[in-house]
Amino acid sequence: MQLSFPLDDDPILARIRVLLLSIYGSQRDSSRIDPTSLFVYAMISGRTYDGVSSTAFVKLCYLLASWDELPDADIDAVARAIADVTFAAEKAEHLVLAARIIRAQRGRFDLSFLAEWSFDDAYAWLTSLPGAGPKVAAATLNFSELRKPALVVDTHVLRTTKRIGILPERADYALGFKGLTRLVPNDWDADDLYELHWLMKKLGQSLCTFRRPACERCPLCDLCAHARRTKLH
């Protein structure tokens, strides 16, 4: 599972984490939410600012007395509750359909049973659900109380690792997840992966932004192919 960055003796993800810890500090936590709630949040949050996603999630919680009601919920009502997120109608349809499939297969819309599954089985099953791609599956398994070993690859992680040169420019979320997973040090656990995600997200939000990356202030500039190209020009 462990690979080394070209011409480097130390695993690249371990080096990145150490450098980012020096400016952002530890990203560990002591408590997580249940996997069903995390799944719902992940399903509605794609390509949407965190604040907007959080507000939409709260509105959806007000709409439903419990997640048990989601499989029978009116899709249009769910879409109205999460109207401020991107692609709200599509997300509402996928969310309700996924909830119905989970209830049909497991008796109720509850993902706590995944605690007994291996990561590989749980990941494969989640990604088979409507609208639940690699990001949703990894977030459900790693960010929730399940704390399974998965690196969540979001827009920021994908963008920063492409610029560094770890991933090819054509990599999407699925290829990004596979490519970065191969680089994870063998001795890392789920909390290490959780921390790396949030460190890289902070980097993407503050320095390695979409339009104007601040390479001159980035602690990863010596590792980064984009920063090297920028210096040459």
pLDDT digits (tens, 9 = 90+) for 40-73: 999 999 999 999 999 999 999 999 999 999 999 9
Q: Is the pLDDT of residue 3 over 60?
A: no
Per the structure block, which two tokens stand in for 116? 């007994």
Q: Which of 99, 123, 142 is the last residue of a domain?
A: 142
Inter-axis angle of helices 134-142 and 173-181, nearest 10: 50
What's the rounded mean pLDDT across residues 5-14?
Answer: 69
For CA atoms 98, 104, 109, 110, the dihedral sign is: negative
Residues 166 and 195 in one domain: yes
Residues 116 and 48 in one domain: yes
**3, part of any domain:** no
Encode pLDDT of 98-131 as tens digits. Answer: 999 999 999 999 999 999 999 999 999 999 999 9
Residue showing tokens 């401020």: 84
> In a 3-state reduction of DSSP, which class is residue 232?
helix
CATH number at residue 111: 1.10.340.30
Show the domain range for 87.
35-142
Q: Is the pLDDT of residue 231 over 90?
A: no
**17, part of any domain:** yes
Residues 106 and 56 in one domain: yes
**6, part of any domain:** no
Residues 121 and 184 in one domain: no
Inter-axis angle of helices 155-164 and 225-232, nearest 10: 60
The answer to whether the beta carbons of residues 109 and 126 sit under 8 Å apart is: no
What pTM was computed for the model?
0.93
What's the rounded mean pLDDT across residues 6-29?
Answer: 88
Residues 39 and 138 in one domain: yes
| Total tally of structural domains belonging to the chain | 2
**46, part of any domain:** yes
